[in-house]
A and B are shown apart, each in its own frame.
Chain A
């Protein structure tokens, strides 16, 4: 089955700097890769996603890149702000028959003012 690894497990950056989180997946058939942000006491919030037919997607300060050959994808946050502090999860899914996301272990991002 699918296996998703995520690095780093913790990341501290200064406000205004960029943050990059990387994930690798094992099943080359996976075709959908969402990223979620989870704040304390809340459920995961979808922040950006990418499908396997696209190499890069951007939404304001957030971007995701996908390398299908190497089977890895990355989340890029620019101009980080204290409110970006949270746990970030990547996921991979086949999505050819129903929803079954396999999540990475998460990255705790701390943005220091």
Chain B
């Protein structure tokens, strides 16, 4: 079974621009979560989507948004980019049903650099 895939893997943007990142979960997984990873703040939860609905949200400004499609694929968008948004953005998927519903599997991440 293929793992979680994220595109693109690397991205360079300029302050003030916006960016959209994409995530395809493991087949059959219905929950998709997004995390931001930085050396200073570590791994921080952004939001989680399940059945096309945002189910949980972390403490990030409204510039960070996301959505999920009917095939469980998800996108996250960051508007008006700031230098501090430079980070590795990780997507994780989980089955959210049955005995393995708690297990969450991560993709390789998208490395975003804001200049």
Q: Is A28 an interface residue (CB 8 A)?
A: no
CB nearest to A45 among chain B residues: B106
Candidates B4, B43, B56; contact of A100 at CB < 8 Å: B56
Contact call B33/A99, Cβ cutoff below 8 A: yes
Question: In the bound complex, how far is the Cα of B31 from the Cα of A42, in angstroms?
Answer: 21
Inter-chain contacts of A106 with B (CB < 8 A): 42-43
A interface, size bucket = 20 to 34
B-side contacts of A95, CB under 8 Å? 102
> Which residues of chain A in 2-46 are interfacial with respect to chain B, using CB atoms and an 8 Å cutoff?
32, 34, 36, 41-46
Q: Contact check, B102 vs A93: say whether CB atoms are below 8 A apart.
A: yes
- B21 CB-CB contact with A under 8 Å: no
Q: Which residues of A contact B75 (CB under 8 A)?
A: none
Q: Is the CB of A100 within 8 A of B50?
A: no
B64 within 8 A of A: no
For window 82-103 of A, CB contacts with B under 8 Å fall at 89, 91, 93, 95, 97-103
Number of A-B contacts (CB under 8 A): 64
Q: Which of A43, A44, A91 has the largest number of chain B CB atoms within 10 A?
A: A43
Q: Let me know if B104 is at the binding interface, CB within 8 A.
A: yes
Q: Interface-forming stretch among B11-19, B76-84, B89-97?
A: B89-97
Interface residue total, chain B, C-beta cutoff 8 A: 25
Chain B positions within 8 Å of A99 at CB level: 31, 33, 48, 56, 92, 94, 96, 104
Contact call B50/A49, Cβ cutoff below 8 A: no
**Residues from chain B with Cβ under 8 Å of A103 in the complex:** 42-44
> Is B55 part of the binding interface, using a Cβ–Cβ cutoff of 8 Å?
yes
Q: Assess A98 versus B50: contact at CB under 8 Å? Given A103-B43, A106-B42.
A: yes
Residues in B neighbouring A102, C-beta threshold 8 A: 45
Nearest neighbor of B31 in chain A, beta-carbon distance = A99
| Cβ contact within 8 Å between B90 and A34 | no
Q: Is A72 engaged at the interface, CB distance under 8 Å to the other chain? A: no
The distance from the CB of B53 to the nearest CB of chain A, in whole angstroms, is 10
Q: Does B109 reach chain A (CB closer than 8 Å)?
A: yes
18 A-B pairs with C-beta separation under 8 A: A41-B108, A42-B108, A42-B109, A43-B90, A44-B43, A46-B106, A49-B103, A89-B43, A97-B56, A98-B55, A99-B31, A99-B48, A100-B58, A101-B33, A101-B45, A103-B42, A105-B42, A106-B42
